[in-house]
A = this chain, B = another copy of it.
Amino acid sequence: MTHILHNDEGMWLPDQLPVARFKERCGFEPTSEWYEHIQKASVRMNNGGSASFVSPNGLIITNHHVAESVLDDLTTKKKDYIRDGFYAKRLEDEIPAKQLEVNVLWEIEDVTDRVQRAIAYCKGSAQSSKERKAEISRIEKESFGATGLRSDVVTLYRGGAYYLYRYKKYTDVRLVFAPEKAIASFGGDTDNYEFPRFCLDVAFLRVYENGQPLKTEHFFLWSDVNSRDNDLLFVAGHPGTTDRLSTLARLRYLRDFGLPYQLNLLRRREVSLQQFSGRSEDNERKALHALHGVQNIRKRFLGQLGALQNPEFIFQKKYQEDELRIRVSKDPNLAECRDAWEMIEGVERRVREIRDRFNLLEGGIGFMTKFFGIARIIVRLAEEDLKLNEERLPEFNDSSRDSLLHSLFSSAPIHKDLEQYQLADSLAYFMETLGTDDELVKKILGSKSPGMLSYELISATKLDSVDERKRLVGGGKAAIEHSQDPFIKLALLIDKESRDIRKIFEAEIEEVRERAYAKIAKAMFVLYGNDVYPDATFTLRITFGRVSGYVDEGVKISYSTDIDDIFRHAEKHNSKEPWSLPERWLKAKKRLALNKYRSNISNFNFITTHDTHGGNSGSPVFDSRLRFRGILFDGNIHANATTFMYVDDVARAVSVHAAGISTALKTVYGAKRLVDELEGKAA
């Protein structure tokens, strides 16, 4: 609801930076070539993160924690890519990722008018929800047909605008380099969201096209000079969901219900995964990636909840909202916008009524196993394929189909023991939440306990075989109706009820919300002009900011750490896990520390004021001349509050410095081929 932008605030659409403000803060006027270069050198990772090209030969850099799912899929009992890392000495050693799609944003088109026109004469939110979706599917299909590019219509300003994003899509991505997890997330869950930090949270992948490294003219030029305090830098990436335009009613819902509910679920999963992990090293390896993810979100949500539980914060939000509402109420041209806030209040009340059932069934948290996810897609695919494109559930429409099948037919391993453990706990949760007298609970569990049922389902399923998945997809409805696979049967059993609750959610929650926020967005555009940026939507945004330390409870935090500080930090914790350094680093200690006397010791991690958010992980940090200076991998604990409001007194984005990466690659890993490529010495 911020109408007066605060310093470097703003997650700007790539072609819509606030020109005057930008010039004032950054001292130059960007050209359209400047924008285009950033846009086409930036990469979106479809597993939830950002990346960028750093060579003309398709080399991309992202975070280790973004690439971790790739490493996890490759890891076997024999070779642990997460623990040991990987380096392809030769091009031919690069290993294909089993399940990854990356996107490069190619074009954006404003389709707001077309979407709004389609629903102009709708009666009721159920009809307009349906028509809106149908129109979006049509736009996407037309665009895909005309350009061959992945085409997604994205809702901006929570309903204020609709933009068509066209992406180049790549699915042949190979692993080039990853360090050991111990150094990538040095300090583990404890140091996560803290600063000072000492993490080499990077991985290099390469995009291939037609079996050859992708040739691209758009990439960031590698630079390994250190940074100075107050340096102006830029970040381009794909921040996930923020709640800045959200009304007070929504924030109250999140504070009192939404976040506590999510946190209970996360803690439950965390404890359960720890239990599984504890049993053996093999289990630990299997659950590591999932556990890491859960802990990360739990810490982020706790930080967000902490911000909302600060009455001061709510007070500020209320002040802003009250001001806007008063101005709206006084402006006769905005009469139609006045009921927006009550609409949202009603929606948030309704959310509480249907949340459990929606999350359990359509969200799938009652059946938490990859097998159920696979089964549901197979079951729905057969059903949706019989419909017209625009009548399908959006994830099954023509423009999404390739991506969907790419993921469905992935050969990434599934660990049946871990799946069984997680499914048992989530079936118990299903039972606890709906109650044992619920008809659906009875239908699914019958006379079995969650543990027994989970064991039976997982033992009997054949969906770990990609061939079986292909057979079922190929066989269409008939194959599915004849299938004896217990997950296919389960997915069929709950499909109607699940679709029903989804329809209710879409009509009564999503659609009403979008309409209400469209009103608020309209009012803001009228009253505040164009200095309003949309909430984050996992689409490309550019932000500007500065290298900057801060003061936390009286303690002055410097803007960067140096690469040899890591040894002191390890000693401080007696080198115990998660502060135990990999062998390679211990061996390189002398060589790394030596640099100190040459006064050019490399910066390792550093902090900036950029307005970023989860999803920005892996974003390039670059200077005005488009030189790669670092890679964002985290925010500090205070940055969690920026979900709701940008502040720069103590909130900071945390990045690995390019200088530190160079030194590590040279001194610790001897990764000559990679360094040469970064430095432009070799193709």
Q: Which residues of A contact B (CB under 8 A)?
A: 188-190, 252, 255-256, 260, 263-264, 267-268, 270-271, 275, 278-281, 298, 305-306, 309-312, 315, 428, 431-432, 435-436, 445-452, 573-574, 576
Residue of B nearest to A276 (CB): B190
Residues of B within 8 A of A298 (CB): 271
**CB<8 Å pairs between A and B, sample of 9:** A256-B435, A260-B432, A267-B268, A280-B573, A281-B573, A306-B450, A310-B452, A311-B436, A311-B449
Within the assembled complex, what's the spacing in Å between the Cα atoms of A576 and B283? 14
Residues of chain B lying within 8 A (CB to CB) of residue A188: 278
With A256-B435, A267-B268 known as contacts, the answer to whether A190 contacts B278 (CB < 8 A) is yes
Closest to A280 in B: B573
How many Å lie between the Cα of A579 and that of B402 in the bound state? 48
B306→A451 contact, CB < 8 A = yes
Q: Looking across the interface, which residue of chain B has its beta carbon closest to that of A278?
A: B190
CB-defined contacts of A452 to chain B, threshold 8 Å: 310
Whole-angstrom distance between the alpha carbons of A436 and B452 in the complex?
41
Q: Are B576 and A309 in contact (CB under 8 A)?
A: no
| Top 10 closest pairs, chain A to chain B, by CB | A190-B278, A310-B449, A267-B267, A260-B432, A311-B447, A267-B271, A309-B449, A264-B264, A256-B435, A267-B268
CB distance from A529 to the nearest CB of B (A): 34
A315 neighbours in B (Cβ, 8 Å): 447
Instruction: Write out the residue numbers on chain B whose beta carbons fall within 8 Å of the beta carbon of A268.
Output: 263-264, 267
Task: Give the oligomeric copy count.
Answer: 2
Known contacts A255-B436, A279-B190, A280-B573; is-contact A448 B311 (Cβ 8 Å): yes
Whole-angstrom distance between the Cβ of A366 and the nearest chain B Cβ: 14
Across-interface contacts of A309 in B (CB, < 8 A): 428, 431, 436, 449-451
| Given A267-B271, A270-B271, 8 more pairs with CB closer than 8 A | A190-B275, A255-B436, A263-B268, A280-B573, A281-B573, A306-B451, A309-B428, A310-B449
State which of B252, B267, B279, B449 has its C-beta within 8 Å of the C-beta of A306. Answer: B449
- Give the residues in chain B near A447, CB-CB below 8 Å: 311-312, 315
Residue with the greatest number of chain B CB neighbours at <10 A, chosen from A252, A268, A432, A448:
A432
Q: Which residues of B contact A436 (CB under 8 A)?
A: 252, 255-256, 309, 311
Contact of A428 among B270, B305, B448 (CB under 8 A): B305
Q: In the docked arrangement, what's the CA distance between A13 and B278, Å? A: 40
Residues from chain B with a CB closer than 8 A to the CB of A449 are 306, 309-312
Residue of B nearest to A277 (CB): B190
Query: How far apart are the CA atoms of A576 and B306 in the complex, in Å?
Result: 36
Residues of chain B contacted by A311 (CB below 8 angstroms) = 436, 445-449
Expressed in whole angstroms, the minimum distance between the Cβ of A250 and any Cβ of chain B is: 15
Residues of B within 8 A of A271 (CB): 267, 270-271, 298
CA distance A255 to B264 in the complex (A): 18
| Cα A423 to Cα B352 with chains together (Å) | 28
A445 to chain B: closest residue by CB: B311
> A525 to chain B: closest CB distance in Å?
32
Report the bound CA distance from A267 to B271 in whole Å: 7
Give min CB distance, A418 to chain B, whole Å. Answer: 16
Closest to A572 in B: B280
Q: How far is the CB of A445 from chain B (nearest CB, A)?
A: 7
In the complex, residue of chain B having the shortest beta-carbon distance to the beta carbon of A553: B455
Q: How far is the CA of A576 from the CA of B280 in the complex (A)?
A: 10
Q: Which residues of B contact A448 (CB under 8 A)?
A: 311
Write out the residue numbers on chain B whose beta carbons fall within 8 Å of the beta carbon of A190.
Answer: 275, 278-279
Tell me the bound Cα distance from A315 to B452 in angstroms.
16
Enumerate chain B residues within 8 angstroms of A431, measured Cβ to Cβ: 309
When distances are taken between beta carbons in the complex, the residues of chain B under 8 Å from A450 are 306, 309
The closest CB in chain B to the CB of A279 belongs to B190
Q: How far is the CA of A311 from the CA of B437 in the complex (A)?
A: 11
Least Cβ–Cβ distance between A187 and chain B, in angstroms: 9
What separation, in Å, do the CA atoms of A445 and B309 have in the docked complex?
Answer: 10
What's the minimum C-beta distance from A120 to chain B, rounded to whole angstroms? Answer: 39
Complex-state Cα separation, A279 to B190, whole angstroms:
6
Interchain CA distance A449-B310 in the complex, whole Å:
4
Shortest C-beta distance, A241 to chain B (Å), equals: 21
Tell me how far the C-beta of A577 lies from the nearest C-beta in chain B, rounded to whole angstroms.
9
Taken together as a complex, chains A and B put the C-alpha atoms of A446 and B315 apart, in Å, by 12
* CB nearest to A428 among chain B residues: B309
* Candidate in A188, A305, A445 with the most chain B CB atoms within 10 angstroms: A305
Report the separation of the CA atoms of residues A256 and B270 in the bound assembly, to the nearest whole angstrom. Answer: 22
- Cα A260 to Cα B260 with chains together (Å): 15
Q: Whole-angstrom distance between the alpha carbons of A188 and B448 in the complex?
A: 30
Complex contacts, A280 vs chain B, CB 8 Å: 573
Report the minimal beta-carbon distance from A293 to chain B, rounded to whole angstroms: 15
Q: CB-CB < 8 A to A576: which residues of B?
A: 281
Residue of A190, A270, A279 contacting most chain B CB atoms (<10 Å): A190
The distance from the CB of A337 to the nearest CB of chain B, in whole angstroms, is 27
Residue in chain B with minimal CB distance to A429: B260
Least distance between A447 CB and chain B CB atoms (Å): 5
Cβ-defined contact, B256 with A574, below 8 A:
no
The answer for the CA separation of A290 and B278 in the assembled complex, in Å, is 19
Distance (Å) between the CB of A274 and the closest chain B CB? 8
The complex places the Cα of A398 from the Cα of B211 at a distance, in Å, of: 86
List residues of chain B with CB within 8 A of the CB of A312.
Answer: 447, 449
**Nearest B-chain residue to A310, judged by Cβ:** B449
Which residues of the partner chain B approach A275 to less than 8 Å between Cβ atoms? Answer: 189-190
A452, B188: Cα distance in complex, Å:
26
Shortest Cβ distance from residue A355 to the other chain B in the assembled complex, whole angstroms: 16
Tell me how far the C-beta of A545 lies from the nearest C-beta in chain B, rounded to whole angstroms: 27
Contacts of A432 in B (CB 8 A): 256, 260
Residues of B within 8 A of A270 (CB): 267, 271
Within the complex, what minimum Cβ distance (angstroms) separates A328 from chain B?
25
Bound Cα distance A315, B436 (Å): 13
A189 interface neighbour in B256, B267, B278, B574, Cβ under 8 Å: B278
- Minimum CB–CB distance from A304 to chain B (whole Å) comes to 12
Nearest chain B CB to A605 CB, angstrom units: 19
Residue of B nearest to A281 (CB): B574
